[in-house]
Amino acid sequence: MPDFRAGTEDGIRIILWDVPGRSMNVLGFEGLAELAALVDEALADPAVTGIVLTSAKPDFAGGMDLAAFSGLRARGPAGIFAGVMAMHALLRRIERGGADPAAGRPAKPVVAALTGTAAGAGYELALACHRIIAADGARVRIGLPEIRVGLFPGAGGTTRLSRRLGAMAAAPFLLEGRMLAPAEAQAAGLVDEVAPAAALLDRAREWIRTARPADLVKPWDTRGWKMPGGAPYSPEGFMTFVGASAMVNGRTQGCYPAARGLLAAVYEGALVPFDVALRIEARHFTAVLTDPTAEAMIRTLFLNREALEKGAVRPAGEPDRSIRRLGVIGAGMMGAGIARVAAEAGIAVVLIDSTPEAAAAGRARLVAATEAEVARGKLDAARRDAALERITPGAGPAALAGADLVIEAVFEDPEVKARVLAEAAAAAPEAVIATNTSTLPVSGLAAATGRAERFLGIHFFSPVEKMALVEVIRGRATGARAVATALDFVRQLRKTPIVVNDARFFYANRCIIPYVNEGVRLVAEGVAPALVENAARALGMPVGPLQLIDETSIDLGVRIARATRAATGAAYPDAAVDAVLFPMAAEGRLGRKAGAGFYDYDARGRRTGLWPGLAARFPRREAAAAEVRDRLLLVQVLEAVRALEAGVLDEARAGDVGAVLGWGFAPWSGGPFAWIDRTGAAAVAARAAALAARHGPRFAPPGRLVAMAASGARFYPD
């Protein structure tokens, strides 16, 4: 079946996008050829007075088909460039509306009627039309998110949006991938108007009938056009582009070729006529698509993430286990956050705590937090109210009766957890019981429930409403029903699950703790804290290890250290870290929440600079930035390999998705396993061995890495 089909109503050709077997349209090269044939036919037909491009699905389009990217890469640079230019040629024909001044043929109006979300290439197609009309809807989002997966808009979106809005105004959408709701998109200039979904096509037809010749010529095709906000060598443009260059390099640290390529395409394109600018955009897009960064990010953040979200590791044969009623024990930050995202997904939630007042206070905190989001326009008030109505505060385990799933989210005390888990199992005998523990082995907690086969870990990351990753932890006795229930629940929340096997700290915390500990070790050795933090950012980490400790709180680090030391005894490896953290905690330097930690803070909780007291306590020594970077990077990578080697991870795919989404591991790399493939196992093993010789066995290359170095094997052979 074709991806596009067309029909004519009162002289207006309606081209419907409807990719078979897909919940959302995506653009592939076969579909592109179909669209080109339909557009060319409509433009050449004298009986057709105008064209509406729309969708037969609730959403308009989600971007390019991933198979198209793979096909493009296989063609090599020349083939990529030719394929992109073919797309430019079609969109340019749409933009010109078939006008042929030499033959006296005027342009025909072309309207993009966006039935719902329009992202990536779908929105780039709309940008080539003469009018963009978006259907209103709470879940509709419009924009160009390509930068988030290591690409930039290469189907003319970079050139058109920067000329439509000006480079400065277009920056949030091009460089950050910001997506907007319809009304916001209209206010920002991304769309021309918003209409009720039921009236969308009528409004498109009406505009076609009333369009004037001037409406069918894009501003950049008119004589004397000037770029909004100024061209690069105007006074205004000079300030814009110099500032943009500094901003991009400051944010990306040079790790993301797509950001550099995008900025170059906008800058160079602004100096030349529009058609030349499209060729420039295509050349930079070709360079980015052939870079290993794009391949790694597409694989991890598109292919592998989507596969996990669609149930790639869900136990076979299990019926649908979607949750209708959820019980949450603990109305603190984590428990209330879990209750919120579940309620927003349409699930009825009972939120209990030790007293009715404590449970009500947890719900009240949600009301206050969401009120602020509504006031800032980040949350729809009606949707917020509907979600809050689904949360019922209560006290005592009896309120959990009838729950399909119960999640325990009390503080990290094994005895307290055992008590509340036993009570939950008795109150909800048919439910799957889960713990949100971030550190304690799940198998040890399972005994309290009396039904270990229906017990597991569901580890959310903080803040729950923002973090996409959820770790589903199988205990030694966890059965298929419990795993399927957890995965179906995570799917309902529209989050990304990885399934890991039980061990202390599971996977994400197992890798992030060595990262923050290595930062502390470096400080204890006399390395300048600013070098530690900047080295981490130069790797592409979202925050340095010292800032991360401050954000999560130093006293939490102390509690984890004490619990780990109690569990490991003489094998405890982090006494040097404790020598820094314990005295700071004793002095009340607990991190941001206390207004003092590795950083100093002002009265509003903003960082004012690194604490000068560190220099007095740990005399400075010279250190090579390259070695600091290697230590911070490899301590995470090697622990990820050990997790795979120990069976905590079943596959590299989950490890890469979990690393990027869970703790922000250098997204440009695609994750620790993708980074090893990119660097070469032999080179990684050699760097690790050199660090081990200087700094100890925590850098010793694991056996699996050594074997891969000898054989030349890869985690992703294809």
Cβ of 226: how many Cβ atoms within 10 Å?
Answer: 11
Question: Can 124 be counted among the known catalytic residues?
Answer: yes
Q: How far apart are CA 35 and CA 524, in angstroms?
A: 63
* Beta strands 432-435 and 455-460, pairing class: parallel
DSSP code of residue 474 = E
β-strand pairing of 391-395 with 348-353:
parallel
Burial 593-617 (b: 16+ CB within 10 A, else e): bbbbbbbbbeeeeeeeebbeebeee
> Beta-strand (E) ranges in 69-148?
110-114, 118-119, 131-135, 142-143
Residue appearing with tokens 């209990």: 352
Which residues touch 575 (CB under 8 Å, ≥6 apart)? none
Q: Which of 124, 408, 465, 639 is catalytic?
A: 124
**41 is annotated as an active-site residue:** no
Residue given tokens 């994750």 in the structure block: 671
H/E/C letters for each residue in 252-264? HCCCCHHHHHHHH
DSSP 8-state symbol, 702: P
C-alpha Rg value of the chain to the nearest Å: 28
Sheet architecture: strand order including 142-143: 118-119, 142-143, 179-180
Q: Which of 34, 146, 518, 533 is catalytic?
A: 146
Which residues in 131-148 are b (16+ Cβ under 10 Å) and which e?
Answer: bbbbbbbeebbbbbbbbb
What is the C-alpha separation between 538 and 544, in angstroms, rounded? 10
Antiparallel, parallel or unpaired: β 142-143 and 179-180: antiparallel
Burial class (CB in 10 A: 0-12, 13-18, 19+), 373: middle
Calpha distance 626→687 (Å, rounded): 11
- Residue count of the chain: 718
| Residues in contact with 141: Cβ distance below 8 Å, sequence separation at least 6, in sequence order | 117, 119, 179, 180, 181
Cα 429 versus chain centre, distance:
37
Amino acid at 130: H
- Taking the C-alpha atoms of residue 287 and residue 466, their distance in angstroms, rounded to an integer, is 33
Residue 596, token pair as written in the block: 């003092």
**What is the spatial distance between Cα 516 and Cα 636, in angstroms, rounded to a whole number?**
10
Task: Please give the Cα distance from 449 to 430 (Å, whole number).
Answer: 12
Residue positions annotated with a catalytic role? 124, 146
